[in-house]
């Protein structure tokens, strides 16, 4: 592996000034770059994030004093020997991801005593500034995350890679392997199961055989509830929701599960679906998706196979060369990715065979209900940084058949404007979903039919150019409606405005006077 990249990276860090505090450390201090950053630099990932450092041979009070001199120190992790440090010189965005305002984790070497519950971060953490770095690395989850790089300092220490768990070998082989026994490592914290899936998807790695076997055996524990014991109670702070559940809540909170799942799908949609299925995670977390397997479709319009195969094909088209050619860029929006995955999830519940013809009447509406349950159960909206909205996902799935229910040329301008111009948050995604669905629907004779998509795209482009739809001010504002008709603020005002705008786009009304008359009728 190319470890020389580490020297280049740390040189950039030093030049940026964010490591100036090193100059004030004692001569016998040892400083190590650790964790995922080391892994990412070695394999050449661009702008690695989450800068983590371990400092040996410096007592915690002295380290705190030195860090304060060079920036701001957050004491959140002080009891665990960790400082959140924000240097006076911000981290250049060209060096690190995420943005330069992020803090740096600086820790003393630590050991962790697991209580064996499998709960997320259910450890007693002990820090010791004299603890050997190899002991610190041995507590980590996967071998490729248990590599350290010792930085050279003012006493001319030689930079070197510390790799006690053969992480470099696994990076070379592109393998995800636990540090030590996989069964034990997962039993310490079951969230590591989904972390293995996520890292495999992000890096394009395989999960090592024994590690994968342990995941398959232990994945049912992902839904276990906590059983309190006196020892662990001292170190785990339960949320109000966990307390309400009586036994201390879930071992792995849904918020953590949602984060790992969304990051995985964003990195590699098809690979994520395959791994979640292979490991049994779908069965435990989203069993509704498994009903798409072996659910037949009309062969004349879906020769690609069952509903599962169709959804998987739609996912595979995201960021394909044809997708990039059609839309001009790649896309990693999780709302679109999940919409492509879920768009036909209602078919198994609505399948009906009449005169040997397969029908799915109302499958979009059935899908809405299923998606709401999944979103609520897994708390998909809770993950910071994704801005995923369940209502947007439901909207995309409920309207994905719009291009088929009617001929596009029979759709009113107001209908096209409503879904593709007025609702700007989901309009672009809905058009992309139409394309994905069309491309993944392969007739038994010929190529996918994109005529409906192309005609709809042309309609949207033409309407966008009309000042009537995109530029002119509304005939009545919400404040004017409330004042004129003595109404109070609320959802009703928004509904009236939407109805009024549709009527305007359909040429039912043209003037402000028409608008007032129209609202009067609506309020009767």
- pLDDT tens-place string over residues 461-487: 887 776 455 445 678 888 988 988 888
Return the pLDDT at 456: 86
Return the pLDDT at 257: 97
Which is nearest to 199 in space by CA: 209, 208, 189?
Answer: 208
Return the pLDDT at 69: 94
Residues found in the chain: 524
Return the pLDDT at 236: 46
Distance of CA 425 to the CA centre of its chain: 18
Return the pLDDT at 475: 81
Return the pLDDT at 97: 53
Distance of CA 436 to the CA centre of its chain: 20
Instruction: List the domain boundaries for the chain.
Output: 4-172, 174-285, 288-470, 478-523
Return the pLDDT at 254: 95
Architecture of domain 174-285: Orthogonal Bundle (1.10)
Task: Kindly report the CATH number that applies to the domain delimited by 288-470.
Answer: 1.10.3210
Residues 6+ apart with CB under 8 A from 116: 187, 188
**CA distance linking residue 402 with residue 416, whole number of Å:** 10
Return the pLDDT at 14: 84
Return the pLDDT at 244: 39
β-bridge pairing 52-56 and 104-107 = parallel
Which is nearest to 333 in space by CA: 460, 432, 421, 257?
Answer: 432
**CA distance linking residue 90 with residue 84, whole number of Å:** 14
Return the pLDDT at 247: 39
What count of other Cβ atoms lies within 10 Å of the Cβ of residue 42? Answer: 24
Can you list the residues of the chain whose pLDDT is less than 50?
98-101, 232-247, 405, 467, 470-471
- What is the DSSP-derived secondary structure letter of residue 447? S
**Collapsing DSSP states into helix, strand and coil, what is residue 113?**
strand
Residues 6+ apart with CB under 8 A from 467: none
pLDDT tens, position by position, 174-206: 999 999 999 999 999 999 999 999 999 999 999
Task: Kindly report the CATH number that applies to the domain delimited by 4-172.
Answer: 3.30.460.10
């Amino acid at each position: 592996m190319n470890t020389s990249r580490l020297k280049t990276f740390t040189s950039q860090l030093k030049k940026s000034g964010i490591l100036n505090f090193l100059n004030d450390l004692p001569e016998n201090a040892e400083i190590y770059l650790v964790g995922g950053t080391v892994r990412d630099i070695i394999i050449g990932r661009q702008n690695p994030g989450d800068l983590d450092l371990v400092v040996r041979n410096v007592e915690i009070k002295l380290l705190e004093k030195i860090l304060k001199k060079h920036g701001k120190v957050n004491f959140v992790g002080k009891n665990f020997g960790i400082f959140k440090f924000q240097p006076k010189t911000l981290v250049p965005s060209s060096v690190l991801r995420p943005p330069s305002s992020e803090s740096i984790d600086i820790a003393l070497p630590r050991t962790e005593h697991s209580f064996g519950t499998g709960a997320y971060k259910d450890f007693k953490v002990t820090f010791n500034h004299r603890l050997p770095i190899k002991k610190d690395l041995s507590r980590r989850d996967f071998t490729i995350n248990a590599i350290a790089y010792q930085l050279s300092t003012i006493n001319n220490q030689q930079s070197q890679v510390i790799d006690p768990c053969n992480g470099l070998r696994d990076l070379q082989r592109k393998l995800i392997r636990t540090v030590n026994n996989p069964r034990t490592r997962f039993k310490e914290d079951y969230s590591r199961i989904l972390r293995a899936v996520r890292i495999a998807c992000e890096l394009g790695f395989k999960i090592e055989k024994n590690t994968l076997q342990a995941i398959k055996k232990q994945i049912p524990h992902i839904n276990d509830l906590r059983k309190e014991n006196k020892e662990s109670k001292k170190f785990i702070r339960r949320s109000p929701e966990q307390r309400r559940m009586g036994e201390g809540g879930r071992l792995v909170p849904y918020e953590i599960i949602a984060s790992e799942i969304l990051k995985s799908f964003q990195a590699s949609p098809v690979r994520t679906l395959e791994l979640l299925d292979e490991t049994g995670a779908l069965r435990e977390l989203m069993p509704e998706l498994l009903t798409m397997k072996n659910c037949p479709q009309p062969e004349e319009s879906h020769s690609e196979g069952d509903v599962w195969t169709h959804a998987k094909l739609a996912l595979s088209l995201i960021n394909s060369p044809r997708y990039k050619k059609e839309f001009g860029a790649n896309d990693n929006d999780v709302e679109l990715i999940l919409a492509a995955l879920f768009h036909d999830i209602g078919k198994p519940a609505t399948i009906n065979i009449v005169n040997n013809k397969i029908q799915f009447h109302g499958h979009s509406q059935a899908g809405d209900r299923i998606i709401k349950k999944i979103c609520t159960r897994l708390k998909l909206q809770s993950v910071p940084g994704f801005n995923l909205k369940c209502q947007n996902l439901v909207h995309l799935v409920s309207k994905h058949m719009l291009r088929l229910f009617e001929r596009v040329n029979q759709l009113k301008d107001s209908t096209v404007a409503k879904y593709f111009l007025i609702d700007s948050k989901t309009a672009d995604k809905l058009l992309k979903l139409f394309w994905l669905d069309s491309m993944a629907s392969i007739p038994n004779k010929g190529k996918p039919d994109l005529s409906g998509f192309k005609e709809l795209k042309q309609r949207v482009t033409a309407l966008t150019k009309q000042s009537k739809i995109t530029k002119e001010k509304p005939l009545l504002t919400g404040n004017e409606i409330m004042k004129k008709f003595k109404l109070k603020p609320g959802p009703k005002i928004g509904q009236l405005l939407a109805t009024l705008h549709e009527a305007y786009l359909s040429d039912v009304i043209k003037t402000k006077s028409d608008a007032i008359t129209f609202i009067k009728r609506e309020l009767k």
